[in-house]
Chains A and B, each alone.
Chain A
Amino acid sequence: MKTHVLFNLFATFLLADGLNIEDSAGQFFSSGHTNNWAVLVCTSRFWFNYRHVANTLSVYRSVKRLGIPDSHIVLMLADDMACNHRNPKPATVFSHKNMELNVYGDDVEVDYRGYEVTVENFLRVLTGRLPPSTPRSKRLLSDDRSNILIYLTGHGGNGFLKFQDSEEISNVELADAFEQMWQKRRYNELLFIIDTCQGASMYERFYSPNLMALASSQVGEDSLSHQPDLAIGVHLMDRYTFYLLEFLEDIHPASKANMNDLFKVCPKSQCVSTPGHRTDLFLRDPGSVLITDFFGSVRKVEITTEAIDLTDPIKEVEERPANGDIHKEMHSYVDQLPVSEIIHQKPKQKDWHPPDGFILGLWTLILLVFFQTYGVKHLRHIF
Chain B
Amino acid sequence: MGLLSDPNRRRALINLLTRLNAPICGMPVEWLVKTMQARGLEVYTQRFSRTLPFPDENKERYMVKGTNVYGILRAPRAPRTEALVLSAPCTPGDNNNQAVGLLLGLAQYFRNQIYWAKDIIFLVNDHDLIGMQAWLEGYHHTNTTGMDWSPLQGRGGSIQAALSLELSSDVVTSMDLVLEGLNGQLPNLDLANLFYAFCQKIGVLCTIQGKLQRNDWDSVSGYSHAVQTMMLMVMKQASGRPWGDHGLFLRYHIEAATIKGINSFRQYKTDATTIGRLLEGMYRKLNNLLERLHQSYFFYLMPSLSHFVSIGYYMPAFGLLAVILLLRALDLWVQLATPPPTTEDGIADIDPGVLSVLTPLVISHLTGAALYMLPIRFQEMAVEHFPVSETEAVVLTAIAVYTAGLALPHNTHRLLSGEGTEQGWRVLKLVALLYLAVLLGCTALINFSLGFILALTLVPGAAFVTPHVPKVLSAFVLVILSPACTLLFSVFFFQELQEMPVSFLDGWLLYLSVISQGILDHFLYGSLVYPLIALLVYPCWLLFWNILFWK
Q: Which residues of A contact B (CB under 8 A)?
A: 46-48, 83-88, 90, 230-231, 233-234
Give 1 or 0 for each of B75-98: 1 = CB within 8 Å of chain A CB. Answer: 111100000000000000000000
The answer, among A46, A48, A90, A234, for a CB contact under 8 Å with B114, is A90
Q: Check if B117 is an interface residue, CB within 8 A of chain A.
A: yes
Is A86 a contact of B1 with CB atoms below 8 Å? no
10 contacts between A and B (CB under 8 A): A47-B288, A47-B290, A85-B76, A85-B115, A86-B117, A86-B288, A87-B115, A88-B113, A231-B1, A234-B288
Is B78 a contact of A85 with CB atoms below 8 Å? yes
Q: Check if B284 is an interface residue, CB within 8 A of chain A.
A: yes
Q: Which residues of A contact B113 (CB under 8 A)?
A: 88
Given A47-B290, A90-B114, A85–B1 Cβ distance below 8 Å? Answer: no
Q: Which residues of A contact B511 (CB under 8 A)?
A: none
The answer, among B78, B115, B287, B288, for a CB contact under 8 Å with A48, is B288
Known contacts A83-B77, A86-B288; 13 additional CB pairs below 8 A are A46-B290, A47-B290, A48-B288, A48-B290, A85-B75, A85-B77, A85-B116, A85-B117, A86-B287, A88-B114, A90-B114, A230-B1, A233-B284
The 9 closest A-B pairs by CB, nearest first: A85-B117, A85-B78, A88-B115, A86-B117, A85-B77, A86-B115, A46-B290, A231-B1, A86-B288
The answer, among B75, B77, B284, for a CB contact under 8 Å with A90, is B77
User: Residue of B at shortest CB range from A87?
Assistant: B115
A-B contact count (CB 8 A): 29
User: Residue of B at shortest CB range from A165?
Assistant: B290
Q: Which residues of B contact A88 (CB under 8 A)?
A: 113-115
What's the least CB distance linking A228 to chain B, in Å?
12
Tell me the residues in window 103-127 of chain B with beta carbons closer than 8 Å to chain A beta carbons: 113-117
Is B288 a contact of A233 with CB atoms below 8 Å? yes
User: Residue of A at shortest CB range from B118?
Assistant: A85
Q: Which residues of B contact A234 (CB under 8 A)?
A: 288
Q: Which residues of B contact A230 (CB under 8 A)?
A: 1
A90 CA to B116 CA, complexed, in Å: 12
A117 CA to B76 CA, complexed, in Å: 28
Give 1 or 0 for each of B288-327: 1 = CB within 8 Å of chain A CB. Answer: 1010000000000000000000000000000000000000
A48 CA to B288 CA, complexed, in Å: 8
What's the least CB distance linking A130 to chain B, in Å?
32
Q: Which residues of B contact A90 (CB under 8 A)?
A: 77, 114
A231 CA to B288 CA, complexed, in Å: 13
Q: Which residues of B contact A48 (CB under 8 A)?
A: 288, 290
User: Residue of B at shortest CB range from A86?
Assistant: B117
Q: Which residues of B contact A231 (CB under 8 A)?
A: 1
Q: Which residues of B contact A83 (CB under 8 A)?
A: 77
Q: Which residues of A contact B284 (CB under 8 A)?
A: 233
Tell me the residues in window 253-309 of chain B with beta carbons closer than 8 Å to chain A beta carbons: 284, 287-288, 290
A234 CA to B77 CA, complexed, in Å: 19
User: Residue of A at shortest CB range from B285?
Assistant: A233
Q: Which residues of A contact B77 (CB under 8 A)?
A: 83, 85, 90
Q: Which residues of A contact B117 (CB under 8 A)?
A: 84-86
Give 1 or 0 for each of B54-91: 1 = CB within 8 Å of chain A CB. Answer: 00000000000000000000011110000000000000
What's the least CB distance linking A84 to chain B, in Å?
8
Q: Which residues of A contact B288 (CB under 8 A)?
A: 47-48, 86, 233-234
What's the least CB distance linking A81 to chain B, in Å?
13
Q: Which residues of A contact B76 (CB under 8 A)?
A: 85
What's the least CB distance linking A48 to chain B, in Å?
7
A234 CA to B287 CA, complexed, in Å: 13
What's the least CB distance linking B415 to chain A, in Å?
43
Give 1 or 0 for each of B1-18: 1 = CB within 8 Å of chain A CB. Answer: 100000000000000000
Q: Which of A48, A83, A86, A90 has the most CB of B within 10 A?
A: A86
What's the least CB distance linking B145 to chain A, in Å?
36
A46 CA to B288 CA, complexed, in Å: 10
